[in-house]
Amino acid sequence: MADQNKTSAKVEFGNELLNPSELFEARTRSHKIPVRGQKDFIPTGSDQQKDRLQQSLDEHWNLVSEERVERLGNLVKAVWIPSDMKVELQSPAGKFWQTMGFSAHGKQCLHPEEALYLMECGNLQVFYQDLPLSIQEGYERFLYSKTMSVQHYQVFGHLKRLGYVVNRFDPSSVPSQYERQLNLPQSLDRSGRLPKRKRSHSPTSRHTGTQEGPTSKRMEEEKDCNREEEDKNPDSLPDLSAPDIDEIQTASYVDPTTSTEGGQGRSWWSKEGSPDPDSELPGQPQSSPRWDFSSIPFPDLGSRSWLPSSLTSPDPCLLPGAVGSVGACDVAPWLQRLNLREVRMSRRECERERDRDRYRRDINQDREVRRCRNWAEYQELQGRRIQRSRRDRPTHLWEGPVTPLHDPAQVTSTGELLDKISVIKSTRLLEGASSLKGSEEWRICFNIYQPDTVAEFKKSAPGKPYSRMCVCSFDGPVPDLWTLKLLAFQSGDVLVTYAVVDHGDISFYSFKDFQIPTDTSF
Amino acid sequence: MDSPEQKITKTVSRVDASKESMANSRQVIGINFCGPTPLMWRADDLKSVRELGIIGTLVGSLARQPRQNTRLGRPLELLPEEGRLLADMGRAAVIPDSTNEDPEVNPEQVEQYHAGLENSFQEQGALALEDRKATLMRVMTKKHNENSGSQEDSDGAVRDRLEALAHGFSFPRTAMAVQLCTARAGLSHCPEVRRFLAADWPIPRDERSETRFRVFRDLRRQGFYLTSAGKFGGDYLVYPGDPLRFHAYFIVVCISMDESMPLCDVLAIARLGSNVKKTVLLCSSGGSQEDDGEEVVYTSLQWSGMV
């Protein structure tokens, strides 16, 4: 073997170059890899063992020292641009373009790790300063940064050789949870943000002035001064101008008078007998926040006791400015859309209903509730009721600094009760993850897509990856809970796999969220 | 290029001879660092290093079949202990990274490259023509043997066909075979220059690496072959002979002498060892930082029962 070294040193000084005849002969090289035989357990020093070892070694050196020889027509030419850390193609890309590479300024480009992989596969020849780069130079030039080190490339190469599609991870391409809920089609352009829905605030009793009718006095009694919600500017109120048919409030009166104008297109109703709203609010501008809902009829179209044939046209001052006067509303087509059929229940069901209703109090019959004009007042009422009920509790338990966890008078389910008295709360992996700041050490590097999706894979719309990869090594620290939460949050709803590289061996680990089921059947 | 070679043989003979049998042309083996990872690229370096008992791990694609993971090719990744041992023996040197030098195009080299390519193209074209002619001859002689016509006629026909072939033959440039080099060509591969360029081996300062290195060196001295054992939960796998032919005997776990190991760890590693049918060796290096006089203490764990 020493002689071999000498002769090769003579032929090409320090190179492993093949001469043209060798290159020519390489066309007919075998492409098969010999199978490795069984191993022995004890070294006996016998000749047979020595021969077999020599044979294995010769085979091994044969394979390892073989150089890559490719037909020039099969090679794609490219240029390495160190300032941008990318490889620019100079001849058209081959089949690999379907899953690798990107376009920049109209040119086809590859990331350094993709280019290196293609060089190792013998598909690409990269030039730098007009000379072709060897694989060694590729490693040394393309892999010197911390974001793409030899370990990262080993994982990349390992997965690509298995057939997976591997791309670089881009944190901004992960859809937020809200976007996932909406099931938005994922596009690469993320400039548009969804407009927020305008929120309208319920009017509070603070603004019911003296100009209202006699019914308003009753409402003022109910007024609670420490109301949290403040009524904002009058501008929010025109939102309420359109009467909601859905709002069920038994109207005190309705004038089912037929209107003079025939309803064309939109027909609304008005109250004939009501006083002119303008007179109700003297000196107030048109956009006054006061509405006398007792005098604005909201017809109960679901009520069985009264079925109007048509609804009268509403007062024009209640409608938005430009609409003007609309005709009467023909109720018949609307009623057809409501299910007004009587519910037919069997005898058993009737009995069950009766039992339930014996102790149920209809919320609509509750006088206090009926006095509430909007949701905010109703919540206040509920709050006051809870306060009142709390006054009946034993003082020695409830007045001290330490109170019981649960009030037996309160109704709650077994699951909630268990939750309340539990000392250790179970948590999910993503809890609290949104507030974690990024880390220098731990990053998600790649997106992995499964091999069987290669045929339909589109770089512009790759879809949800199978997994995301984070590369670490056995010499480094084990990922702690903080890291797991951080990376799981960054990844969205895709599982994060940790690829641990140890001198050429790669092991994959992933951490899955698991909830221990609680038994609430007792 | 004869004189540098003569110089090499002279300098090599001055190197202190060790027990190695191959003493003729002992080149200094080059190790290239890619970041913190020591790699070796040249096939003859890999061979020399294996003769010294250093196995390493192949981590690149195999040239013959790049799209599979069962057998990988160059580069060879070395354990830090392997590199350090080679440097200590004086057999290897770290080649400094030269990627940041030569920012401009070197017109001489480019010209050389293109000349070489053109030469290769011409030669391959000639070889291709010869190959075609040989095929043609084979086919025609077979036909002639079958038809058994007159000798002169057939000779004339052959000559005509060969001439026609020579005229009409074209070897397109795209059909030329080109080599994609694995290792870098360059001056740094001259052994003399390597010795000159050698940078210092980065020696880590922490106790664990020191323990690992001493255990490695001791086991290597005893003739065992060692590879990394991350998959088995240990530091090294110990083979009685070349790993290509033999199964591993031991899983080595390096711990420092004063370190106390929790019992559950001992149980875990013992259980693992018994599952894979290997003996677990707990190794510690006693003594001070000096090279001489320190010894490595071995404790083996074997799962046994009470009979």
pLDDT tens digits along B219-254: 999 999 999 988 888 899 999 988 988 889 899 999
| Average pLDDT over every residue of A201-207 | 48
Give the per-residue pLDDT at A231: 40
The two tokens of residue B104 are 């401009």
Which carries the bigger pLDDT value, residue A43 or residue A89? Answer: A89
Residues of A in contact with B134 (CB under 8 A): none
* Contact present, B192 and A38 (Cβ < 8 Å): no
pLDDT at B178 over 80: yes
| Average pLDDT over every residue of B174-192 | 75
pLDDT at A281 over 90: no
For residues A122 and A8, what is the distance between their CA atoms, to the nearest angstrom? 24
CB half-sphere exposure, B182, CA atoms < 13 A: 26
pLDDT at A14 over 50: no
Please report the residues numbered 97 through 136 in chain B whose beta carbons come closer than 8 angstroms to any beta carbon of chain A.
97, 99, 102, 104-106, 109-110, 113, 119-120, 123-124, 127-128
Give the per-residue pLDDT at A205: 45
What crossing angle do the helices spanning A150-162 and A112-121 adopt, rounded to 10°?
60
Q: How far is B30 from chain A (nearest CA, A)?
A: 12
Which carries the bigger pLDDT value, residue A305 or residue B234? Answer: B234
Which carries the bigger pLDDT value, residue A154 or residue A84? Answer: A154
Question: What pTM was computed for the model?
Answer: 0.69
Return the sign of the alpha-carbon dihedral for residues A151, A152, A155, A160: negative
Interior CA angle at B219 toward B216 and B224, to 5°? Answer: 115
Lowest-confidence pick of A365-379, B17-31, B196-210: B17-31
What pLDDT digit, counting tens, does each position of A227-253 carry? 333 343 333 344 443 344 334 333 333
Residues of A in contact with B74 (CB under 8 A): 64, 135
Give the per-residue pLDDT at A259: 38
* Contact present, A277 and A296 (Cβ < 8 Å): no
| Annotated catalytic residue within B239, B249, B277, B298 | B239
Give the per-residue pLDDT at B250: 92
| Average pLDDT over every residue of B80-95 | 86
Q: How far is A92 from chain B (nearest CA, A)?
A: 15
- What are phi and psi for residue B109, nearest 5 degrees? -65, -40
For residues B277 and B259, what is the distance between their CA atoms, to the nearest angstrom? 27
Give the per-residue pLDDT at A11: 31
Give the per-residue pLDDT at A373: 87
* Contact present, A107 and A79 (Cβ < 8 Å): no
**Omega before B75 cis (within 30°)?**
yes
Residues of B in contact with A151 (CB under 8 A): 37
Q: How far is B161 from chain A (nearest CA, A)?
A: 24
Give the per-residue pLDDT at A124: 93
Is A141–B35 a contact, with Cβ atoms under 8 angstroms apart?
Answer: no
Three-state DSSP at A141 gives helix
Residue of B nearest to A74 (CA): B174
The pLDDT confidence band at residue A265, using thresholds 50, 70 and 90, is very low
CB atoms within 10 A of CB A5: 17
The pLDDT confidence band at residue A469, using thresholds 50, 70 and 90, is very high
* Contact present, B157 and A106 (Cβ < 8 Å): no
The tokens 């109207």 sit on which residue?
A251
The pLDDT confidence band at residue B157, using thresholds 50, 70 and 90, is confident
Q: Round the average pLDDT of chain A to a whole number and report it.
A: 74
Is B35–A18 a contact, with Cβ atoms under 8 angstroms apart?
Answer: no
Residue of A nearest to B173 (CA): A72
Q: Which of A61, A170, A75 shows the shortest CA–CA distance to B45? A: A61
Lowest-confidence pick of A84-88, A151-155, A314-318: A314-318
Greatest pairwise CA separation for chain A in angstroms: 120
The 8-class DSSP code of residue A327 comes to B
Q: How far is B163 from chain A (nearest CA, A)?
A: 23
Task: Kindly give the pairing relationship between strand A467-473 and strand A496-502.
Answer: parallel
pLDDT at A323 over 90: no
pLDDT at A286 over 80: no
* Nearest by CB: A63 against B57, B64, B231: B64
Give the per-residue pLDDT at A439: 77
Give the per-residue pLDDT at A187: 56
* Contact present, B137 and B158 (Cβ < 8 Å): yes
pLDDT at A176 over 50: yes
Best mutation target among B94, B110, B178, B250 (most A Cβ atoms within 10 Å) is B178
Residue of B nearest to A14 (CA): B189
The two tokens of residue A203 are 């009017």
The 8-class DSSP code of residue A172 comes to G
Give the per-residue pLDDT at A449: 93
Q: Chain B within 8 Å of A154 (Cβ-Cβ)?
A: yes
Please report the residues numbered 311 through 330 in chain A whose beta carbons come closer than 8 angstroms to any beta carbon of chain B.
none
pLDDT at A40 over 70: yes
**Does the annotation count B278 as an active-site position?**
yes
User: Residue A516 contacts by C-beta under 8 Å, 6 or more apart in sequence?
Assistant: A426
The pLDDT confidence band at residue A9, using thresholds 50, 70 and 90, is very low
Strand ranges, E, within B18-155: 29-34, 37-40, 57-60, 73-77, 92-95
Q: How many A-B residue pairs are in contact by the CB < 8 A criterion?
A: 252
Q: Which of A46, A69, A65 shows the shortest CA–CA distance to A57? A: A65
For residues A94 and A75, what is the distance between their CA atoms, to the nearest angstrom? 9
The 8-class DSSP code of residue B70 comes to S
pLDDT at A274 over 90: no
What pLDDT digit, counting tens, does each position of A384-433 carry? 888 777 777 777 887 788 888 888 777 778 888 888 888 887 788 888 87
The two tokens of residue A29 are 């090289």
Q: Chain A within 8 Å of B42 (Cβ-Cβ)?
A: yes
Task: Kindly give the pairing relationship between strand A329-330 and strand A505-510.
Answer: unpaired
| Average pLDDT over every residue of B188-216 | 73
The pLDDT confidence band at residue A134, using thresholds 50, 70 and 90, is very high
* Nearest by CB: A503 against B57, B120, B127: B57
CA dihedral of residues A52, A55, A61, A63 (deg, nearest 10): -110
Lowest-confidence pick of A62-66, A306-310, B142-146: A306-310
User: How is A397-451 classified by DSSP, letter by letter?
Assistant: HHSSSS--S--TTS---HHHHHHHH-SSPP--TTTTGGGPPP-SS----EEEE-G
For residues A333 and A474, what is the distance between their CA atoms, to the nearest angstrom? 74
β-bridge mates for residue A145, sequence order: none
Best mutation target among A40, A135, A471 (most B Cβ atoms within 10 Å) is A135
For residues A200 and A232, what is the distance between their CA atoms, to the nearest angstrom? 9
Which carries the bigger pLDDT value, residue A188 or residue A474? Answer: A474
Q: Which of A272, A271, A317, A269 shows the shortest CA–CA distance to A296? A: A271
Residue of A nearest to B112 (CA): A131
Q: Chain B within 8 Å of A58 (Cβ-Cβ)?
A: no
* Contact present, A267 and A328 (Cβ < 8 Å): yes
Type and span of the H or E element at A127: strand A124-128
Give the per-residue pLDDT at A26: 77
Type and span of the H or E element at B219: helix B207-221
Residues of B in contact with A20 (CB under 8 A): 119-120, 123-124, 127
What crossing angle do the helices spanning B80-89 and B207-221 adopt, rounded to 10°?
60
pLDDT at B48 over 80: yes
Task: Give chain A's length.
Answer: 522
Which carries the bigger pLDDT value, residue B83 or residue B185? Answer: B83
Give the per-residue pLDDT at A150: 92
Strand ranges, E, within B144-247: 177-180, 225-228, 236-239
Type and span of the H or E element at A5: helix A2-11
For residues A205 and A220, what is the distance between their CA atoms, to the nearest angstrom? 7
Residue of B nearest to A131 (CA): B110
* Contact present, A144 and A116 (Cβ < 8 Å): no
Number of helices and strands (H, E) in chain B? 8, 11
For residues A295 and A276, what is the distance between their CA atoms, to the nearest angstrom? 11
pLDDT at B216 over 90: yes
Q: Chain B within 8 Å of A40 (Cβ-Cβ)?
A: yes
* Nearest by CB: A136 against B128, B177, B183: B183
Residues of B in contact with A83 (CB under 8 A): none
Which carries the bigger pLDDT value, residue A111 or residue A260? Answer: A111
pLDDT at B62 over 70: yes
* Nearest by CB: A24 against B65, B124, B172: B124
Is A64–B241 a contact, with Cβ atoms under 8 angstroms apart?
Answer: no
Give the per-residue pLDDT at A4: 38
Task: Kindly give the pairing relationship between strand B250-254 and strand B279-285.
Answer: parallel
Q: What Cα–Cα distance (Å) separates residue B89 from each residue in B15, B19, B52, B83?
A: 11, 12, 10, 10
Is A144–B72 a contact, with Cβ atoms under 8 angstroms apart?
Answer: no
pLDDT at B88 over 50: yes
Type and span of the H or E element at B285: strand B279-285
pLDDT at B125 over 50: yes
User: How is A197-245 classified by DSSP, letter by letter?
Assistant: PPP-PPP-GGG--TTS-THHHHHHHH--SS-SPPP--GGGGGGGGSPPS
Residues of A in contact with B228 (CB under 8 A): 502-505
Quick one: how far is CA B234 from the chain centroid?
Answer: 24
**Does the annotation count B247 as an active-site position?**
yes
Q: Chain B within 8 Å of A85 (Cβ-Cβ)?
A: no
Q: Provide the ipTM.
A: 0.84
| Average pLDDT over every residue of A487-501 | 91
pLDDT at A283 over 50: no
* Contact present, A173 and A492 (Cβ < 8 Å): no
Which carries the bigger pLDDT value, residue A434 or residue B296? Answer: B296
